[in-house]
Amino acid sequence: MVQRLEGRVAVVTGGGSGIGLATVRRFASEGAKVVVADLDPASGKAAADEVSGLFVQVDVTDEEQVKALFQTTVDTYGKLDIAFNNAGISPPDDDSILTTGIEAWERVQKVNLTSVYLCCKYALPHMQANGKGSIINTASFVATMGAATSQISYTASKGGVLAMSRELGVQFAREGIRVNALSPGPVNTPLLRELFAKDPERAARRLVHVPLGRFAEPEEIAAAVAFLASDDSSFMTASNFLVDGGIAGAYVTPL
């Protein structure tokens, strides 16, 4: 594995599972020191132990805890180079606008969007002090594409992540800090597997729109995150990095 992240210090929120876990492994294999931030202590600590990193239990919706996460990172490893703000939820009670209540709406906004505001707010001053940094915020292809199978608050939250990332990328560009949104297509996670194993029709309804004809593996998304984190993407900021199997470019897909 190339050592593009040798000597870099990275924070990964939601690092205990799925895309976050695959990225923790990828960052470490490229030489980074990794801080795993997760609400769940069991999976978060296991991920950190696996890469000889640091686990910090954090609820990313809590301002004080997020502030402490980045301070602890700098206190432990001396600086902050990379923030992958990735923790997010997609609960079943976030559905059509006609049936989604205000409580579900607000819960999803807090975990998916307010958390990214907090993580950027408290990561940026450490990167300013360091004179450089790369922030990657996990949006989704649904920030770019509309779906008739709506999850209204989720989609709106990811649109917010995309717009916020663009604005921060522009604002901090001349301070050496890059901010990009990562927009994955559907990823083969335990949740998605369970949902679609039970209901092949639901899976087929989605897969027909993916030119590559399958869902992504978390490692394929992690590879894109490592690119955005590394100097290989040095001329990229304020962008929407779609890793979606071609969904956003497709009209008629291959048979």
187 contributes a contact to ligand NAD by CB under 6 A: yes
Considering only 10, 11, 18, 84, the residue that binds ligand NAD (CB under 6 A) is: 18
User: For residue 168, which of 127, 129, 140, 130 has the smallest C-alpha distance?
Assistant: 127
Residue 7 CB, shortest distance to ligand NAD, in Å, is 26
> 39 vs 120, which CB is nearer to ligand NAD?
39
Asked whether position 152 contacts ligand NAD by CB under 6 A, the answer is: no
**Cβ atoms of residues 10 and 27 within 8 Å:** yes
Shortest spacing between CB 235 and ligand NAD, in angstroms: 25
Amino acid at 102: I
* Interface with ligand NAD in residues 57-116 (CB under 6 A): 58-61, 86-90, 111
Among 134, 140, 155, 230, binds ligand NAD (CB under 6 A): 140
Q: Give the count of residues interacting with ligand NAD (CB under 6 A).
A: 28
**Cα separation of 133 and 172, whole Å?**
10
Asked if 154 is an active-site residue, the reply is yes
Instruction: Sketch the per residue contact string, 119 through 138, with ligand NAD: x for CB under 6 A, - otherwise.
Output: -------------------x
Check residue 39 for interaction with ligand NAD (CB under 6 A).
yes
Write down the least CB distance from residue 176 to ligand NAD, Å: 26
Residue with tokens 């039970």: 198
Residue from 12, 16, 70, 135 touching ligand NAD (CB under 6 A): that is: 16
Question: Candidates 1-9, 10-18, 74-82, 122-130 — which segment interacts with ligand NAD by CB under 6 A?
Answer: 10-18
Q: Tokens at residue 181, please?
A: 């949104």
**Nearest residue (CB) to ligand NAD, 133 versus 218:** 218
- Cα separation, 15 vs 173, in Å, equals 27
From 77, 117, 122, 154, the catalytic residue: 154
Q: What is the CA radius of gyration of the chain?
A: 18
Among positions 215-254, residues that touch ligand NAD (CB under 6 A) are none
Among 10, 30, 38, 54, binds ligand NAD (CB under 6 A): 38
Binding residues (CB under 6 A) for ligand NAD: these are: 13-14, 16-20, 38-40, 43, 58-61, 86-90, 111, 138, 140, 184, 186-187, 189, 192
Q: Any idea which residues carry the catalytic annotation?
A: 154
